[in-house]
Structure 1
């Protein structure tokens, strides 16, 4: 039976840590000029209803770097746009490729594809979860800050799919997490409740971003209006204005705190130009690490 990556809560802390460790090793190998061919002769299909420059290029580069082949399918190229039953698509694609990487809207789409697929289904983003991105973020945090279970991490902004996956990561990996979200823009309630029930350290939800970043080792944010929310742009700009990650907000964080943003960034909206380009920003390492964590995921689930 194929193993799937649909949400971080489906894995133990040890399993998530092992994926990150594998990515760190693959990154070291790459820097040393070691060529890994673990997936030679294998093929992955990238099925993207939501387009993405970084996710597409990092997955394609990762698969090619492991010796494999890639087929990219946008929504207009697949039956997702033509109302073919997902179970039919999953069973047919399973006979063509060795893995399906899906970037879409509803979590129910990846869940149903996984239910009928005979090959691994990887969630490259849904409106509910963004597990691959958080794994690359965790990799970046470990590189810059060390052991996760000693850290306090802050999330500032929308309680979106990124926030949901950060919550699940905190429950599994034991770091303290505080999220600051405006009223009406909180993370998924069921995900938060389940994570708090098993977490070793606090997972807090507050309104005040200053409270969230107090003594934080890592500060993370994302765009205020995600893909598909463009009609809410003006309303969200007003609600989120006090949640900008800027130099004033960072005064309360730990002196050596680092700042994450998964990109693309709207400069001087959710994050100031000065912080994004400043010495605390590790966003370029974070962007590179998407490729290395995608290598680890593909090698683990296909191999």
Structure 2
């Protein structure tokens, strides 16, 4: 019996993704009204962090508690993974003791190997290649503020990193146009670009991407693990800052998102997060609700298949 995992957005069908986004907003409203229930009493999530995070830990730990379950925080110092135990062995052991596993790590091949050896659902909470949980939150946020993103124009400004690559998957799953503005040498994976060339294009001038865009998104220029490249990246990305002046070229009702942490004065202006376009704080909160909907989906899928 195949276990459902969530390693990229491509692991969900279009209908499943739309249902999860809708459910995320339902769970959000229930939480606000105090009418939420706790369907997963006794269920345990293992949270494996090989990369640190604020939003990821808080949202998953709080989300699991709100669903009635509990979560275990496991850093490299807490597990044999940090001491060289094979990923396959750790996956087989940990998955026998918990109901669902979340992993935030470096190489995407590492989480693939873990999932292949896990007897419970595995969620990608970030790898060097993809960050699909953040896309759930972003797409939920757009849906809440503007309705369906189908047919819209999305501008990605900056590095072709894991967030950008997850936006490519989202463009396919949710039927929007993605225009990526990045310097030469900082493009996303060539195979992804080729696979989804009907929806994704590359430009070198941010103004070309932002003009008429319904959603503008950026991220830090130097991701975790790239600290030594920080200065060279700052030089390469000069002219790629998202600020109030450039946002004037976007569609009249455009939104701005950033997955955080943000570096004011670099990839964004000092006041961009507080601008009229920004929905960044809603986007950050929606990590909680979108991930709860995802956990619910994966645990229910496992329960239904076991009957």
Report what 1:209 is aligned to. Answer: 206
Q: Find the residue that maps to 1:220 and give its secondary structure.
A: strand
Q: Where do 5+ consecutive residues of structure 1 fail to align?
A: none
Measure the CA separation in 2 of the matches of 1:258 and 1:169. 17
Q: Find the residue that maps to 2:186 and give its secondary structure.
A: coil
Q: Give the RMSD, CA atoms, in angstroms.
A: 1.0
Q: Where do 5+ consecutive residues of structure 2 fail to align?
A: 301-307
Report what 1:301 is aligned to. Answer: 298
Measure the CA separation in 2 of the matches of 1:249 and 1:159. 20
Q: 1:120-161 CA deviation, whole Å, 9 max, x = no partner?
A: 010000000000001100000111111111311110000000
Q: 1:258-303 CA deviation, whole Å, 9 max, x = no partner?
A: 1000011001110112221111110000000000011011111123
Superposition pairs of residues 72-221 of structure 1, within 5 angstroms: 72-196=73-197, 199=198, 202-221=199-218
Report what 2:255 is aligned to. Answer: 258
Report what 2:46 is aligned to. Answer: 45
Measure the CA separation in 2 of the matches of 1:216 and 1:145. 13
Count how many residue pairs are aligned between Structure 1 and Structure 2.
Answer: 299
TM-score, normalised on structure 2?
A: 0.95
Which 4+ residue blocks in structure 1 deviate beyond 4 angstroms? Answer: none
Measure the CA separation in 1 of the matches of 2:201 and 2:256. 19
Measure the CA separation in 1 of the matches of 2:291 and 2:37. 14
Report what 1:244 is aligned to. Answer: 241
Indicate if the aligned counterparts of 2:5 and 2:11 stay in contact, CA closer than 8 A: no
> Deviation at 1:98?
0.5
Measure the CA separation in 1 of the matches of 2:194 and 2:28. 35
Moved more, 144-153 or 260-269: 144-153
TM-score, normalised on structure 1?
A: 0.97
Q: Find the residue that maps to 2:30 and give its secondary structure.
A: helix
1:275 partnered with 2:261 = no
Q: 1:168-218 CA deviation, whole Å, 9 max, x = no partner?
A: 11011101111101110001111121223xx5xx31111110000010011
Q: Find the residue that maps to 2:216 and give its secondary structure.
A: strand
Indicate if the aligned counterparts of 2:102 and 2:124 stay in contact, CA closer than 8 A: yes
Q: Find the residue that maps to 1:148 and give its secondary structure.
A: coil
Indicate if the aligned counterparts of 2:27 and 2:36 stay in contact, CA closer than 8 A: no
Indicate if the aligned counterparts of 2:20 and 2:290 stay in contact, CA closer than 8 A: yes
Q: 1:33-74 CA deviation, whole Å, 9 max, x = no partner?
A: 112211111000000000001110000010000000110001
Q: Find the residue that maps to 1:75 and give its secondary structure.
A: coil
